[in-house]
Structure 1
């Protein structure tokens, strides 16, 4: 199996999903088994809102999916209530800002919310699309796919007619995600140049050879002994 985590130490082994556990023996989906002394459950974040009553109309399925939310922000049953920052696998700070501006625009009259039935229709279409893409319930708020992230940024900004996230933030996030999957991002400093461009500068690791697309090589320069790429 291909490692999901790049450059694992030699004393660590990455295994596929667990199929079953019998005593101290753990069986995996690839048919292998290992003896385990300790098992640590990595459940990820769980959504919990104990301060909300049933009257709020919010349901949290399996502690992973908060619904029903219009654009994954506005409580359809009580549209003066919002949830900021449920999503993951995207540039969270920029997204928090976009979602906050979206919600404020519904309160100050800049963007009047559609009818309740229209919001439900949009919500159901959004969930159906995620299920069609193979997104399971536990990752409903996850933006695992680039097309999902890009579509969400555009949808939120366009719907409320508010300023978009600067392209440089989105492009830099995607590049960092790509480099992270290769185990390279810790060696690079990412610097914003403008709303559309950013620089990648090596941090002094002389033996590091970054992998970049061939069409980017022409933009490579050396400044003070460090390689720099402009995107």
Structure 2
């Protein structure tokens, strides 16, 4: 039984902002709020910072969605905060433990821990009608209600695993789990395992299992373009330059296609061979297909039969799995890498409509009807997530501090409607944005997109180098700092 306390008093004058979640987005947002003279109160339900980067095998499900071997699928050169570089000694694609250490160092450097309330669950957050919010939290034995001037949700999308409900599920005698619960391959040694899903987790897990399992099957509905981590002997995201972004869309697609074919050929793999192995090759349209950066071993394992590609799972029966094309195999375990269901159980149902994993927000951040409610890190990024979360946090903080104005409710609604027709809305990945295009858009709103001709020494890196969030520290509100 919990006891209830009334609204906690707070000093007058300083605007207080509730930040829900102390992962990448919550930490970046808290720092940005402090930069603008606002007071963040960060609620974190776990005992430490890090969000999905937390990994502790002593906790249920390892304490997060990480698995033991996970490395980033974007390079260290593109994923750092703008004002806190990653150590140069890290590998191109850091291990998850190295990212967690980086986040801890970030929080310590900017003194963020003092603003975080750990082991605290947000039970409800409701607008009061007085341009404020009433937020009720619980630490297990006691509930507390506090009043805030704004709420920023930084809890992400990856909390509630999605498990398909298939015919015959009740008769299946094998093991079924979600990738959320997968930590390593040891317990699957000698088994026949089906991995369902071709996102980054699915292909990582399939490759890892193929070293110990008797047979691994990779089930996919529409396939994906699998992007090797290294292209032209450099991390693949080094190819995503501003110069490339200046090219017409179809020309960009042509060069993207040619680069992929070059890398496939270097590995001794042809598209015809992949088709013969059952791998569906999707559209060449960047926006309308899934792009999966992956371990270079995936395609080689498919080529030699260590991983067998199968269609979508249609039905289960005892030890048998039937696929959409009528074929079937017997298996011991199914690991679903089928993503997560988006939920905000602490918000009123009438406030947020979630449809197909999407929420209608202005530039994926602001609620058009409730301007003191914002979401940071909710969109999915084709590229590095940290810089997008940071620049969203900067935007929200400056809006709440009164230094940047939002458009009217009608204008925001019109932009939301217009964005529905953008090619990105056709992506199979919900609320997806392209890293450079989106970051440049928000930087323009903030007035921090660099006047690059004022920085001639930076021109080569600007046009030919990989994306770097440090570019958005060259200017401040349109002026040099």
* Normalised-by-shorter TM-score class: 0.5 to 0.7
Q: Does 1:141 align with 2:427?
A: no
Q: Match for residue 21 of structure 1?
A: 315
Residues 173, 35 of structure 1: alpha-carbon distance in 2 compared, 3 angstrom cutoff: farther
Q: Match for residue 220 of structure 1?
A: none
TM-score by length of 1: 0.59
Q: Match for residue 123 of structure 1?
A: 416
Q: How many residues align?
A: 165
Q: Match for residue 11 of structure 2?
A: none
C-alpha distance in 2 between matches for 1:71 and 1:42: 28
Say which structure is richer in strand. 2
Q: 1:32-43, aligned counterparts within 5 Å?
A: 33-43=328-338
Q: Match for residue 439 of structure 2?
A: 153
Q: 1:53-72, aligned counterparts within 5 Å?
A: 53-55=348-350, 57-62=351-356, 64-65=357-358, 67-72=359-364
Runs of at least 5 residues in structure 2 that lack an aligned partner in the other structure: 1-273, 280-291, 451-457, 473-481
Equivalent residue for 1:84, pick from 361, 366, 376: 376
C-alpha distance in 2 between matches for 1:40 and 1:173: 34
Residues 195, 103 of structure 1: alpha-carbon distance in 2 compared, 3 angstrom cutoff: closer
Maintained 8 Å contact 1:102/1:162: no
Q: Relative contact order (alpha carbons < 8 A, sep ≥ 6): 1 or 2 greater?
A: 2
Residues 17, 152 of structure 1: alpha-carbon distance in 2 compared, 3 angstrom cutoff: farther
C-alpha distance in 1 between matches for 2:439 and 2:312: 35
Equivalent residue for 1:44, pick from 332, 339, 354: 339
C-alpha distance in 2 between matches for 1:123 and 1:75: 10
Q: Does 1:106 align with 2:106?
A: no
| Cα offsets for 1:101-146 (capped at 9, x unmatched) | 11112112222111111101111211221466x313xx22223xxx
Residues 173, 195 of structure 1: alpha-carbon distance in 2 compared, 3 angstrom cutoff: closer
Runs of at least 5 residues in structure 1 that lack an aligned partner in the other structure: 175-191, 197-231
Residues 95, 150 of structure 1: alpha-carbon distance in 2 compared, 3 angstrom cutoff: same
Equivalent residue for 1:94, pick from 387, 404, 412: 387
TM-superposed CA distance for 1:51, in Å, is 0.5
- Answer with 1 or 2: which has the greater Rg: 2
User: Is the partner of 2:314 in helix, strand or coil?
Assistant: strand
Q: Give the aligned CA root-mean-square deviation in angstroms.
A: 3.4
Q: Does 1:7 align with 2:297?
A: yes
Maintained 8 Å contact 1:18/1:28: yes
TM-score by length of 2: 0.30
